[in-house]
């Protein structure tokens, strides 16, 4: 199919909910992808942080195809082995107590919200049901996770949303203190706000919020859907913040490219959702869990995470010196590039594609979420495209 036909057919049969770039990928290997015409790209997006081991990693493909050829699904009416292995790997590598599997980030956050509501009711009465989130956060697209999302633009057109969510500005401890007034059963935070523009929270602030939560028996719930599974250079970003959450959600990079979400709960919260209170037809799917097991096994390998941190530092350093760049922020291989005034992130992404590299955006920033396995050579090629694009755009702006 030629590219014009692809666009025409997509528009004819698929709801127009996405502003897509002019690109149709057909295959990939690690951080390199090819379009339908055979043109090659370095991928600094990994499908929005999903292909944690890159495209078609050999170990991952073998694990997933083996499971697909053995038992692809049975439902949660029965036991299967892959979900047990994946949950065990998550618990043993984090010290969390129990896992619930679902299929996406939004669904994982829905599960966390249900734990919080039930915990509040059980321990502090039925009026303890509010969940405090942050302004500028992003937690998903379902009506409840939209309510949790502290960005009004996402709320428009879909009112009424689920009630019982309060959002306070990040970094404002007084506002958090006031919101935790006995009506709140949980706080839900991203440690680095992803969709909100790659905004890392301040460590002292997060630790102070964790203290408040502990003092008032409010659950600390971390949305690590984007920051989790090695993205920031540690298995979960909270390790770098020195806090111990009650609930952690994961999704994006967990399955290495298959849909899976997970709610991790500590000893205090692992038993809150008892039999019959939650479920998912696809949750714990054997093929998705086989993918997750392979991802977790590889991340636990010697030097894997420290190499993610090293590559992240290298990229930050290189990009900081490029034309048109005001600031590079983020953690590990979750980076946001603040451009100088007059330069547009969408232009950088569009020109990137023309020049053979894939970059993401977040608000007005260029966002990079390369596969964790990107090689130094791939990284170098991608950085060179970025430099070329920024130089060109800078010139056009000055002209």
Ligand X SMILES: *Cc1c(COP(=O)(O)O)cnc(C)c1O
Give the binding site for ligand X (CB under 6 A): 104-106, 109, 138-140, 190, 194-195, 223, 225-226, 251-252
> Which residues touch 344 (CB under 8 Å, ≥6 apart)?
364, 393
Q: Which is nearer to ligand X, 105 or 324 (CB)?
A: 105
Which of 151, 218, 124 is CA-nearest to residue 179?
218
Which of 145, 169, 165 is CA-nearest to residue 225?
145
Q: Which is nearer to ligand X, 35 or 110 (CB)?
A: 110
> Which residues touch 76 (CB under 8 Å, ≥6 apart)?
279, 280, 281, 283, 284
**Residue 44 beta carbon to ligand X: minimum distance, rounded to whole angstroms:** 16
For 370, the token pair is 């390369």
User: In this chain, which residue has its C-beta nearest to ligand X?
Assistant: 105
**Residue 270 beta carbon to ligand X: minimum distance, rounded to whole angstroms:** 21
Buried (b) or exposed (e) across 70-83, using 16+ Cβ within 10 A? eeeeeeeeeebebb
Q: Which is nearer to ligand X, 225 or 349 (CB)?
A: 225
Burial of residue 374 (number of CB atoms within 10 Å: 0-12, 13-18, 19+): buried
**Residue 262 beta carbon to ligand X: minimum distance, rounded to whole angstroms:** 11
For 178, the token pair is 């006031």
Q: Are strands 25-29 and 199-200 parallel, antiparallel or unpaired?
A: unpaired
Half-sphere exposure of 119 (CA within 13 A, CB side): 27
Q: Which is nearer to ligand X, 112 or 272 (CB)?
A: 112
**Residue 136 beta carbon to ligand X: minimum distance, rounded to whole angstroms:** 12
**Is the Cβ–Cβ distance between 173 and 208 less than 8 Å?**
yes
**Residue 350 beta carbon to ligand X: minimum distance, rounded to whole angstroms:** 22
Q: Which is nearer to ligand X, 190 or 266 (CB)?
A: 190
**Residue 78 beta carbon to ligand X: minimum distance, rounded to whole angstroms:** 26
**Residue 1 beta carbon to ligand X: minimum distance, rounded to whole angstroms:** 27
Q: Which is nearer to ligand X, 107 or 378 (CB)?
A: 107
Q: Which is nearer to ligand X, 106 or 333 (CB)?
A: 106
Q: Which is nearer to ligand X, 87 or 362 (CB)?
A: 362
For 38, the token pair is 């055979």
**Residue 256 beta carbon to ligand X: minimum distance, rounded to whole angstroms:** 14
Whole-Å CA distances, 143 to 60, 63, 114, 140, 260: 33, 35, 14, 9, 20
Which of 135, 113, 133 is CA-nearest to residue 197?
135
């Amino acid at each position: 199919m030629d590219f014009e036909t692809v666009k025409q057919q997509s528009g004819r049969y698929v709801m127009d909910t996405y502003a897509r770039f002019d690109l149709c990928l057909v295959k990939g290997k690690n951080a390199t992808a090819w379009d339908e015409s055979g043109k090659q790209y370095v991928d600094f997006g990994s499908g929005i942080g999903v292909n944690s081991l890159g495209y078609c990693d050999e170990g991952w493909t073998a694990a997933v195809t083996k499971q697909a050829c053995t038992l692809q699904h049975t439902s949660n009416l029965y036991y299967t082995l892959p979900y047990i292995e994946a949950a065990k790997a998550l618990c043993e590598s984090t010290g969390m107590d129990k896992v619930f599997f679902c299929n996406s980030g939004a669904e994982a956050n829905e599960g966390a919200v249900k734990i919080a509501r039930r915990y509040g009711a059980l321990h502090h009465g039925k009026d303890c049901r509010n969940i405090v989130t942050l302004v500028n956060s992003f937690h998903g697209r379902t009506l409840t996770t939209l309510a949790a999302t502290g960005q009004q633009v996402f709320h428009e057109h879909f009112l009424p949303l689920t009630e019982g969510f309060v959002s306070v500005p990040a970094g404002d401890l007084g506002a958090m203190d006031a919101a935790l007034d006995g009506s709140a059963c949980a706080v839900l935070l991203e440690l680095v706000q992803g969709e909100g523009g790659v905004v890392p929270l301040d460590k002292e602030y997060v630790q102070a919020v964790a203290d408040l939560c502990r003092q008032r028996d409010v659950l600390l719930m971390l949305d690590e859907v984007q920051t989790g599974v090695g993205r920031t250079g540690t298995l979960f970003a909270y390790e770098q913040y020195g806090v111990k959450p009650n609930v952690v959600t994961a999704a994006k990079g967990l399955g290495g490219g298959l849909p899976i979400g997970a709610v991790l709960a500590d000893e205090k919260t692992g038993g809150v959702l008892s039999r019959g209170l939650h479920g998912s037809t696809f949750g714990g799917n054997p093929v998705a869990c086989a993918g997750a097991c392979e991802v977790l096994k590889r991340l636990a390998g010697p030097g894997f995470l420290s190499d993610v941190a090293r590559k992240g530092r290298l990229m930050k350093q290189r990009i900081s010196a490029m034309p048109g760049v005001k600031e590079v922020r983020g953690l590990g291989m979750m980076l946001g590039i603040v451009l100088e005034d007059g330069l547009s992130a969408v232009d950088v992404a569009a020109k990137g594609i023309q020049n053979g590299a894939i970059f993401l955006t977040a608000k007005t920033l260029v966002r990079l979420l390369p596969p964790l396995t990107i090689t130094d050579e791939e990284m170098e090629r991608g950085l060179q495209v970025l430099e070329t694009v920024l130089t060109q755009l800078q010139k056009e702006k000055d002209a």
